Amino acid sequence: AARMLFLLMLAGFSMASFVISAVHLHLIPLLGGLGLGGAAALVGACIGPAQVGARLLEFATARRTPIHVPSVLSVAMLAVALAVLLAGAPDVTWGVAFALAFGIGQGLAFIVRGMLPLMAFGRGVYGTVTGRLNSVRLFVTALAPFVTALVLERAGPHAALGMLGGMALAGTGCMIAVAMLMRRRTSRRG
């Protein structure tokens, strides 16, 4: 069960990191390809405040909320953001909605990457587990811009966003499975 938990967490973190890296490095061409090039500065500027807001909200509710809740939300919000962008472009309002959802997902992802392994595996192996998770996650993060550039160039922004949305949905599924395994494990102990 611990191995399955680790592999699901690895897949969820890696897919979320791929999406985050790809979107940040290709935000301007993605927005431009969808007719939002003139609003790229506004849309991009909304991501940071949404990250901060998500972190503050998580901090304020952390004692009452199990870590698997923001774990699922972090990746699900990335999928929601990409769907909103695909459905609403070139409307600037939808572009801003994308940025807010994306920022929330990214802000939560940073917290979750540190807390979820601690809660799932404990302090004794925390360094080893996070080292293994991050070695793969960082490789995937480095690969994301190249893969996304290839898809953008060959198939266009809709295909690239579709690929990223699919990864975000798959990552959400992984985090839901992690949450279920952790809840099952907790209920057996209690």
- Give the pLDDT confidence of 136-163 residue by residue, as tens digits: 999 999 999 999 999 999 999 999 999 9
The answer to whether 92 touches 33, Cβ cutoff 8 Å, is: no
Instruction: Calculate ∠ Cα 154-158-164, nearest 5°.
Output: 90
The answer to whether 130 touches 6, Cβ cutoff 8 Å, is: no
Crossing angle for the helix pair 2-33 and 126-155, to the nearest 10 degrees: 30
**Local confidence band at 186 (pLDDT 50, 70, 90 cut-offs):** confident
Q: What is the pLDDT of residues 124-141, one digit of tens each?
A: 999 999 999 999 999 999
Instruction: Calculate ∠ Cα 181-185-189, nearest 5°.
Output: 170
**Local confidence band at 1 (pLDDT 50, 70, 90 cut-offs):** confident
Quick one: pLDDT at residue 190?
62
Give me the residue spans of the domains in the chain.
2-189
**Local confidence band at 120 (pLDDT 50, 70, 90 cut-offs):** very high
Is residue 180 predicted with pLDDT exceeding 80? yes
Q: What is the pLDDT of residues 53-110, one digit of tens each?
A: 999 999 999 999 999 999 999 999 999 999 999 999 999 999 999 999 999 999 999 9
**Local confidence band at 41 (pLDDT 50, 70, 90 cut-offs):** very high
Quick one: pLDDT at residue 63?
92
Output the 3-class SS for the chain. CHHHHHHHHHHHHHHHHHHHHHHHHHHHHHHHHCCCHHHHHHHHHHHHHHHHHHHHHHHHHCCCCCCHHHHHHHHHHHHHHHHHHHHHCCCHHHHHHHHHHHHHHHHHHHHHHHHHHHHHHCCCCHHHHHHHHHHHHHHHHHHHHHHHHHHHHHHCHHHHHHHHHHHHHHHHHHHHHHHHHHHHHHHHHC
Quick one: pLDDT at residue 172?
99
Q: What is the CATH number of domain 2-189?
A: 1.20.1250.20
